[in-house]
Homo-oligomer: A and B are copies of this chain.
Amino acid sequence: MTEAVLSGDIGGTHIRLAVVDTAGNIIRLIKVKIERSTGRSNLTKQLISSAQELIQWASTKNIKILGVGIGIAGKIDPSEGKVIFSPNLPEANGKNISKIVSEYTKCPVFIDNDANVFGRGEAWRGEGSKVRSWLGITLGTGVGGCIILNNKLWQGDKNIGFVGEIGHMTIYPDGFRCACGKRGCLEAYASEGGLLRRIAHDNLYSSSGRIKSAKLLYLKALEGDPVAVKLFEDFGRALGIAIANGFTLLGVRHAIIGGGVSQAWEVFKQSMFDAAYSNCSMLSSDQIFIVKSKLGDEAAILGAAKLVLDSI
């Protein structure tokens, strides 16, 4: 009998759930669109039925499921297994997802913030496996972060419900308004949400048809469109300052960048490196290491699997 875990990545639009063996091989993966009627979803119901489907499949293959791990964006209390506040999944707010899923799957269930799960995945099988201490950053709709110190994920002060929230560090006091309500956060500059809000706010591309995704803006920047180039320069600069500040505070010199919007690497890397070099007086430029994750979507799935293996 093979041993494996069930690992899940709950995003704003989809649930991805996988059977992962203890060596970190993804054996089977399913992706389910979150059904929303009248704004609310049956998130937990869909999550449970997908989990049950995979557990049943595993039993036919003689695979023993040791536990379930799930990554969710937002403020999470991993020790309680509770979602405190999730901006993209308001239906999960206040719910003890661990307890609910555990009741139906008869397995121990562990949840954590999506960026922490990214960190565990990277540390296990990605770039993070090569360095002891590093700062992880996920660029997507928002900006997430995680902190790995001496090969261990730092989980924040007891019951605080957040850690590594580099996306909400103030980079420009009195700067552009962030989704969180305050001004000048990294996320207001270096996320898809931030880019699209800046485009709407400054009424950019109003004659040529509004840009509706970071990917489209990235393609524009690749073509040399000056507005898109400038937005990604600002993106990179804010990110570079944030990384420099993170290194300076944490006493680390490695950053690993993942998330869907990290695919725009080519158009923000120059200004990111320039800003990181010029804003970190503790390290010379050849002591600063910022790399792009190579795991892609798999980082979250592998990390949620590792969360189970680390916890049971």
Chain A interface (Cβ < 8 Å from any Cβ of B) = 75, 132-133, 145, 147, 149, 154-158, 160, 162-166, 168-173, 178, 180-182, 185, 237, 241, 244-246, 248-254, 278-282
Contacts and interface: CB of A to CB of B under 8 A. Distances in A.
A173 B249 contact: no
A245 B169 contact: yes
A251 B172 contact: no
A180 B248 CA distance: 13
Q: How many copies does the complex hold?
A: 2
A155 B249 contact: no
B169 A252 contact: no
Contacts of A254: 157
20 contacts: A132-B157, A132-B158, A133-B157, A147-B249, A147-B250, A149-B154, A155-B251, A157-B253, A160-B253, A162-B282, A163-B250, A164-B249, A165-B248, A165-B251, A168-B282, A181-B281, A182-B278, A185-B281, A245-B245, A249-B250
Given A165-B251, A251-B155, A251-B157, A241 B173 contact: yes
A289 to B, nearest CB: 11
A173 B279 contact: yes
Main secondary structure on chain A at its contact with chain B?
loop
A251 B156 contact: yes
Contacts of A241: 170, 173
A145 B281 contact: no
A251 B160 contact: yes
Contacts of A279: 170, 173, 182
A186 B245 CA distance: 11
Given A133-B157, A281-B180, A249 B251 contact: no
Nearest to A131: B157
Nearest to A160: B251
A111 to B, nearest CB: 16
A249 B166 contact: yes
Contact of A170 (B75, B132, B164, B245): B245
